[in-house]
């Protein structure tokens, strides 16, 4: 064994020297190479995992928002349909009411018209009676040459009116 070590030039001092050399290198590399590089790798891994997590959160949020918006849209559509139905009902009711009111007004107006016509008719009848009576009196005065008294007037007027009435009735038939 000793001969082998001598042949290969193995000496404890060189083993120690090399070991010290290696340990110095190990410490330097650990301080200046491994630690910063591993730190950067760790930082990058963390950034990537954070980004992925955020992206997942955003996707989940987006899906939730989509579901919510669909729900809102559906709800709004239902509400709109209800509003439209209500409006339609209200409109029908208003139209019906307006119709009814207009009918009532028309009836009232017709009734009022009828009343007015009747009044006008009566007034015209009376006026015509007076004018006719006047004309008859005037005619009789011219024919008889005397001024008729009240009983004469009344008698003549009644006779004329009765004859007129008969005439009108005959024409109407």
Q: Which of residues 2-21 bind other proteins (CB under 8 A)?
A: 7-11, 13-19, 21
Nearest to 129 by CA among 171, 160, 152, 168: 160
Q: Can residue 48 be called a binding residue for other proteins (CB under 8 A)?
A: no
Nearest approach, Cβ of residue 29 and other proteins (Å): 5
Q: How far apart are the first and last CA of the chain?
A: 168
Nearest approach, Cβ of residue 2 and other proteins (Å): 14
Nearer to other proteins, 46 or 114 (CB): 46
Q: Tokens standing for 71? A: 């729900």
Any idea which residue has 């009532």 for tokens? 104
Nearer to other proteins, 37 or 83 (CB): 37
Any idea which residue has 């996707």 for tokens? 59
Say what the alpha-carbon torsion angle 25, 26, 30, 31 is, to the nearest 10 degrees: -40
Q: Are 136 and 157 in contact (CB under 8 A)?
A: yes
Nearer to other proteins, 49 or 163 (CB): 49
Q: Can residue 30 be called a binding residue for other proteins (CB under 8 A)?
A: yes
Nearest approach, Cβ of residue 51 and other proteins (Å): 13
What gap in Å lies between CA 133 and CA 139, rounded to an integer? Answer: 10
Q: Judged by CB under 8 A, which stretch of 39-47, 81-89, 90-98, 121-129 contacts other proteins? A: 39-47
Contacts with other proteins, residue ranges (CB under 8 A): 7-11, 13-19, 21-26, 28-30, 32-34, 36-38, 40-41, 43-44
């Amino acid at each position: 064994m000793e001969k082998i070590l001598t042949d290969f030039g193995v000496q404890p001092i060189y083993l120690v020297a090399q070991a010290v050399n290696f340990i110095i290198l190990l410490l330097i590399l650990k301080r200046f190479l491994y630690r910063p590089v591993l730190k950067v790798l760790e930082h990058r891994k963390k950034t990537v995992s954070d980004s992925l997590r955020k992206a997942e959160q955003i996707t989940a949020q987006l899906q939730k928002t989509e579901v919510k918006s669909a729900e809102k849209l559906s709800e709004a559509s239902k509400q709109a349909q209800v509003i439209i139905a209500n409006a339609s009902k209200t409109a029908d009711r208003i139209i019906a009411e307006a119709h009814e009111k207009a009918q009532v007004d028309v009836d009232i107006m017709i009734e009022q018209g009828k009343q007015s016509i009747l009044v006008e008719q009566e007034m015209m009848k009376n006026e015509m009676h007076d004018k006719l009576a006047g004309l008859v009196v005037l005619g009789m005065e011219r024919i008889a040459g005397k001024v008729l008294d009240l009983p004469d007037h009344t008698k003549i007027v009644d006779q004329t009116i009765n004859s007129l009435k008969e005439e009108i009735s005959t024409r109407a038939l």
